[in-house]
A = this chain, B = another copy of it.
């Protein structure tokens, strides 16, 4: 998907919500589990299809988190592939992010690119920057595909290394953004920036004025959507804000899909206001 297609979708829908499919069977509504019996594949697919169909009117992106599928082995991987295919077939305008945080030496990253861009047909893949340029570049150059590079994450451990200052006073996450900006354009690279430090978005925008940012940490992790938008939004939005647990587990009753839709709709309502205030789309 091109940047323009993504922005057009955000503009029409008045939402920049990404729904994270951190699909955890242990949190599934009993009605799903009863129907699927002990078939993990059936349970995951029934849950994901219901959540996706219910939330699609209020979001522009989905982000399956690969860990939750790998935990179920071969059947989990099949559910991951079929979830991608289901979204692609039924909601073709939605941007699909494989949240896999991959990154390895060149020939290995090239294999991951094949897995996620060719086999699963993801629009984007999250990538870890620790191994540097030749671990990231094999993911670039796929038509309409995106790298989303970890910059400043939303978890407490982000303070361990990402904030380390070098001799010139640059923090590691800033160095990651600056260096990687020479590898790719804002048409093919985004950054992960956690919502838990809203004021940091000012610093991020100094390094990456035009890039889209994928923002986890609103909702269960406590970040403020208002601060993210005030400091991080650009004229053409430039944000995809993810929410996982607060939406997909909004209810554990038979109304779980309806509750997810309502939770997504509520966030999208706030987003429409912020788009009016801080963007030009």
A residues adjacent to B (C-beta < 8 A): 22, 24, 65, 67-68, 70-74, 76-78, 81, 99, 101-109, 111-112, 114-115, 119-120, 128-136, 150, 153-162, 164-167, 172, 175-176, 179, 216
Contacts and interface: CB of A to CB of B under 8 A. Distances in A.
A155 B135 contact: yes
19 contacts: A70-B77, A73-B120, A74-B78, A74-B81, A77-B77, A101-B103, A101-B128, A101-B131, A129-B161, A130-B150, A131-B153, A131-B162, A132-B156, A132-B162, A133-B156, A161-B176, A161-B179, A164-B166, A165-B166
A120 B73 CA distance: 8
Copies in the complex: 2
Given A70-B119, A71-B111, 8 more contacts: A67-B102, A70-B77, A70-B112, A71-B119, A130-B150, A130-B162, A131-B162, A134-B157
B160 A179 contact: yes
Contacts of A105: 153-155, 216
Contact of A161 (B68, B104, B130, B153): B130
B132 A157 contact: yes
A134 B24 CA distance: 19
Nearest to A166: B164
Nearest to A110: B67
B111 A70 contact: yes
A68 B172 contact: no
Contacts of A164: 164, 166, 172, 175
A196 to B, nearest CB: 11
